[in-house]
Amino acid sequence: MRAALAGSVPDLSTTTKGTQMRTLITTTGVLAAMVALVSCGQTQNSASTDDYPDRPIDLIIPVPAGSSTDVSTRFVVPCIEEELDATIVVENRDGGGGAVGNGLFAQAEADGYTLVSTSVGNAVVPPIAEGGVGYEPDSFLPVGMIGQAPVVLVVAADSPYTSAEEFFAGAASERLVVGIPGPTSVPGISITALTSTQDLQLEAVPFTGNGNTIQALLGGEVDAAYLSADGGVTLPRIQSGEVVALATAVDEPAPSLPDVPTLVSLGFDGLPLGDSFWFLATQVDTPEPIVTTLEGAMETCMSNGDIQAQIGEGVAPPEFIPGSDVQEMLETAARGYEEFLQ
Amino acid sequence: MDILEGLLHGLEVALSVQNLLFVLLGVTVGMMVGVLPGLGPAPTVALLIPLTFTLDGPTAIILLAGVYYGAMYGGTITSVLLRIPGEAASVVSTMDGHAMARQGQAGKALGLAAIGSFAGGLFATACLILFSPTLADFALGFGSPEYAVLALLGLFLVAYTSAGTTLKSLVAIGIGLLVASVGPDPITASPRWTLGVPDLLGGFEIVAIIMGVFGLSELLVNITESRRPTSVTRTIGRVLPTGRDIADSAGAVGRGSVIGTALGLIPGGGGVLASLVSYGVERRVSKQPEEFGSGVPQAVSGPETANNAASISTFIPLLTLGFPPNGVLAVIFGALLIQGVTPGPELIGDHPDIFWGVVVSMVIGNLVLLVMNIPLLPVFVKIAQIPPGTMATITVAILVIGAYSINGNPFDVAVMIGAGLVGYLLRKLGIPPAPLVLAFILGPIFETNFRRSLVVSDGNITVFASSPVAVALLVVLGVVIVTAVTGRLWRMRSARPGHAGEERARRLP
């Protein structure tokens, strides 16, 4: 029904996949009210799980179009559509640090027709920090990892500090200012944990996003930046030598930064998981066969070398990370953040 | 990317079939809204935002920019023929332009205005090309303290230069700042004024606010006080000006180009201010100032050149600093955000398609307007007579659907309607609504950078004078405040009642 309506609207843009998709999203958005009216009369018959999917699937992305979660998800979507033989309607529902989109997802029926692609920060932070957002960190049943970006401490190439040891020795004796990409970002929580458990004179200053934070570092406004090593902003600048990675906040050396020491290896224990990751999820009550179908599609698509390359080397997991593993990481993150968010 | 390389890249973008179509669409729509009294460029651009959701970044901005400068051409037609300003910036052409029309010289007035607009547009585009990359490079070095002072300066300039009195602009700015403070605190992320409403956790949606304040409120004003033409001229006469006419106006066009380009850069500036200043300057340099008002060609060609130049140079602060200087650019700021592009010094480098594509499209668009202007005059005169009610019905539907489709959230429709009612109320009180929207954008830039600077400096206020740029900006800020206050005192002493400004404020963005 929705697809038919959307299809009848002339496509004004060029016929690249991206714009078609965007046309579809907006058209759907515009028509959603109409569709809602039309479908009022029909009662949704409880979908038989055998012929899943037999209608288009909504995929909510709770962040704006163009962000790294959004872009990498859109690389995977066409493949999942092919695997499931279904249309996926991607909808960006941003607002409230992910609270709006994730809330809509959590309140939708657990029938596999409303999925979400969310980052750990958007899944965990709003329910803990704000509460009453319509979902909890355990409202998500992950079906596979899409991308990972470890939190990394970087300094400018001309910084007096050339290693993590020197930097932390410096922070023990003088006030150092560290730029973070946002107050409730994963790096923001991680640095709160670092400063509240260690005797360091680190002052965290929130900027807006990774690009803005790196700019402040390169402009000499802050002594260091603590942000996720995403494929769009941070990794390219580490590779070009503009900034130097001193340490990562993950337990094992990150695939994208194998030679950078971890904070754990430097003796900082008890920190929450400093890993920004994003994943595809359905609701916890989704029937088992549907979850299996979705996870199967994700495994095939995330193992595809082309898709991995599009998402970015080191960002897309080299080996498929199944839902159960993601769930474990999500639970660890939620436990770790809870302590430092309140 | 150097300028030549950039221009070639821009040609490639602007000459694609899709972008050529959209520049054509943009300038045509712009001409039409320019011609339609009441519907100005800001509400139209706000109305078109939903359409841009499905477009590529460059195409979206090419379309919206085309509407803006297209309206500058169109507005002249109604001013000259019907003595109603089709849009605010053409208001001065209702004087000499219409006087010329009544003497059977409508064609000459329109022809000169079109040629002047074209020249002014080209001049401003050249400035945009030459100075923007350098300015953006310079602005890349700005840290939080510089941005804080710059945003504050912007707020004061908006108050000082907007239509209506400074006090009334300040009221609008105050409301804008209050509305902007709803949402997460920029440093601690604690929710402010959200009253437990989840939809408010992220603050108000900027595009919904813009569509309401510019689109809906304008519409309400139009319905409640529809204006009928009082003096219609149907004889257009010879349209192509003679060589002598052009030579007579060359000075006015040259001065108008410079004045318009310069005033477009200032927050609160843009078309209206540019055409008023140009009119004043022409009158001052004229050998027969007493004839102004009775049909002096320079009084049309100068201001019309200036408003078009200004409509293009207003893009410079947006594309280099991320600061929208007026209402229309505030809407384009919102459109860029929707495209996932944050306007700022990184824009030219990160999105060369958008910058260079739009710049080249401006040249194409101005050329199209020049050519289209003259043969289509009779059509535009017809359009000017469409009853406001017909327009209103279509407009409301577009606004509601548009607000809903920003995020697919009915709450944004309510925000749009609320913003529209507030905007209507303000206009009725003679308070210009544009400063509200500009404060809504500049306020958070100021607060975030101000507080960030203080965290970095550990609470030391001298951080705002820690670089030569910051000191220079502080000096300018001081000058603006002193001028505003002393100017105010002087005006109070000479106490001349002027309702013209308030009337303008009500009609204008």
Give the per-residue pLDDT at B504: 46
Q: How many residues does chain B have?
A: 509
Question: For residue A51, what are its two tokens?
Answer: 């012929």
Q: Which of A157, A2, A148 is nearest to A87 (CA)?
A: A2
Which CATH number among 3.40.190.10, 3.30.750.24, 3.40.30.10, 3.40.640.10 corresponds to the domain A149-248? 3.40.190.10
- Searching chain A, which residue's CA lies closest to the CA of residue B463? A221
Residue A91: list chain B partners with CB under 8 A: 408
pLDDT digits (tens, 9 = 90+) for B263-299: 888 887 677 788 888 998 998 898 888 888 888 999 9
State the nearest Cα–Cα gap between A124 and chain B, in angstroms: 15
pTM assigned to the model: 0.80
- Decide if B340 and A66 are in contact by the 8 Å CB cutoff: yes
- Searching chain A, which residue's CA lies closest to the CA of residue B445? A208
Residue B509 has pLDDT above 70, yes or no: no
Cβ pair A178, A205 in contact under 8 A: yes
Tokens 């900006």 map to which residue?
B473
Residue B458: list chain A partners with CB under 8 A: 175, 203
Cβ atoms within 10 Å of B490's Cβ, excluding its own? 9
Cβ atoms within 10 Å of B235's Cβ, excluding its own? 12
Cβ pair A152, A178 in contact under 8 A: no
User: How does the average pLDDT of chain B come out, rounded?
Assistant: 86
Give the per-residue pLDDT at B501: 43
Residue B184: list chain A partners with CB under 8 A: 97, 183-184
Question: For residue A55, what are its two tokens?
Answer: 């209608």
For residues A261, A262, A267, A271, the Cα torsion angle rounded to the nearest 10 degrees is: 160
Give the per-residue pLDDT at B1: 66
pLDDT interval class at B352 (50, 70, 90): very high
Give the per-residue pLDDT at A43: 40
Of A22, A33, A70, the CB nearest to B54: A22
Of B50, B198, B448, the CB nearest to A132: B198
Integer-rounded Cα Rg, in Å, for chain B is 22
Question: For residue B446, what are its two tokens?
Answer: 């100021």
Give the per-residue pLDDT at B38: 65
Residue A73: list chain B partners with CB under 8 A: none
- Decide if B198 and A211 are in contact by the 8 Å CB cutoff: no
Dihedral sign from CA coordinates of A139, A143, A146, A152 = positive
CATH architecture of A2-39+48-148+276-341: 3-Layer(aba) Sandwich (3.40)
Cβ pair B32, B383 in contact under 8 A: yes
Q: Which of B370, B324, B360, B321 is nearest to B344 (CA)?
A: B321
- Decide if A95 and B456 are in contact by the 8 Å CB cutoff: no
Instruction: Identify the residue among B13, B25, B29, B54 best suited for mutation to test binding to A, counting A beta carbons within 10 A and taking the highest.
Output: B54
Q: Do domains A2-39+48-148+276-341 and A149-248 have the same CATH topology?
A: yes
For residues B219, B220, B223, B228, the Cα torsion angle rounded to the nearest 10 degrees is: -60
- Decide if A23 and B346 are in contact by the 8 Å CB cutoff: no
Beta bridge partners of A91: A60
DSSP per position, B143-198: -HHHHHHHHHHHHHHHHHHSSS-HHHHHHHHHHHHHHHTSEE-TTT--EES-TT-G
Give the per-residue pLDDT at B443: 93
State the nearest Cα–Cα gap between A105 and chain B, in angstroms: 13
Give the per-residue pLDDT at A63: 84
Question: In angstroms, how far is CA B275 from the centroid of its own chain?
Answer: 13
> Comparing A17 with B73, which gets the higher pLDDT?
B73
Distance between CA B438 and CA B436 in Å, rounded?
6
State the nearest Cα–Cα gap between B207 and chain A, in angstroms: 13
Residue B55: list chain A partners with CB under 8 A: 12-13, 19
Instruction: Identify the residue among B12, B201, B337, B415 best suited for mutation to test binding to A, counting A beta carbons within 10 A and taking the highest.
Output: B201
Cα–Cα distances in Å, from B348 out to B155, B267, B460?
25, 21, 34
Give the per-residue pLDDT at A184: 82
State the nearest Cα–Cα gap between B491 and chain A, in angstroms: 43
- Searching chain A, which residue's CA lies closest to the CA of residue B341? A66
Give the per-residue pLDDT at B490: 66
Residue B13: list chain A partners with CB under 8 A: none
Beta bridge partners of A117: A280
Of B401, B405, B458, the CB nearest to A175: B458
Percent of all residues in chain B with a pLDDT value above 70, rounded to a whole number: 92
Burial A192-212 (b: 16+ CB within 10 A, else e): bbbbeebebebbbbbbebbbb
Give the per-residue pLDDT at A39: 40
Instruction: Identify the residue among A24, A177, A180, A215 best suited for mutation to test binding to B, counting B beta carbons within 10 A and taking the highest.
Output: A215
State the nearest Cα–Cα gap between A134 and chain B, in angstroms: 9
State the nearest Cα–Cα gap between B398 and chain A, in angstroms: 10
State the nearest Cα–Cα gap between A289 and chain B, in angstroms: 31
Of B142, B185, B196, the CB nearest to A132: B196
- Searching chain B, which residue's CA lies closest to the CA of residue A68? B340
Of B140, B144, B405, the CB nearest to A26: B405
Residue B495 has pLDDT above 60, yes or no: no
Residue A221: list chain B partners with CB under 8 A: 143-144, 456
- Decide if A14 and B198 are in contact by the 8 Å CB cutoff: no
Give the per-residue pLDDT at B228: 60
- Decide if A13 and B54 are in contact by the 8 Å CB cutoff: yes
- Searching chain B, which residue's CA lies closest to the CA of residue A216? B143
Residue B409: list chain A partners with CB under 8 A: 93, 95, 100
CA atoms within 13 A on the CB side of A198: 22
- Decide if B201 and A94 are in contact by the 8 Å CB cutoff: no
What are B's interface residues with A at a Cβ cutoff of 8 A? 16, 18, 50-51, 53-56, 59, 140-144, 184-189, 191, 196, 198-199, 201-202, 205, 337-342, 346, 401, 404-405, 407-409, 448, 452, 455-456, 458
Mean pLDDT, each 10-residue run in order, chain A (342 residues): 36 43 48 43 51 91 80 91 92 78 92 94 88 88 95 96 95 94 88 89 90 88 93 86 94 89 89 89 95 96 93 89 95 88 69
* Residues with Cβ within 8 Å of residue B155, at least 6 apart in sequence: B173, B267, B438, B439, B442, B443, B446
DSSP per position, B394-431: HHHHHHHHHHHHHHT-HHHHHHHHHHHHHHHHHHHTT-
Lowest pLDDT segment from B42-46, B131-135, B149-153, B223-227: B223-227
- Searching chain B, which residue's CA lies closest to the CA of residue A223? B456
- Decide if B198 and A134 are in contact by the 8 Å CB cutoff: yes
Distance between CA A31 and CA A39 in Å, rounded?
12
- Searching chain A, which residue's CA lies closest to the CA of residue B407? A93
State the nearest Cα–Cα gap between B470 and chain A, in angstroms: 14
Domain positions in chain A: 2-39+48-148+276-341, 149-248
Residue B339: list chain A partners with CB under 8 A: 65-66
Per-range mean pLDDT, top range of B262-271, B340-349, B414-423: B414-423
- Searching chain B, which residue's CA lies closest to the CA of residue A70? B340
Give the per-residue pLDDT at A37: 43
- One-letter amino acid identity for B98? H
- One-letter amino acid identity for A99? A
Distance between CA B14 and CA B360 in Å, rounded?
6
Across B127-145, average pLDDT: 90
Across B373-378, average pLDDT: 78
Question: For residue B424, what are its two tokens?
Answer: 């209507």
Domain positions in chain B: 3-507
CA atoms within 13 A on the CB side of B261: 21
Distance between CA B303 and CA B11 in Å, rounded?
30
- Decide if B198 and A32 are in contact by the 8 Å CB cutoff: no
Give the per-residue pLDDT at A338: 86
> Comparing B23 with A35, which gets the higher pLDDT?
B23
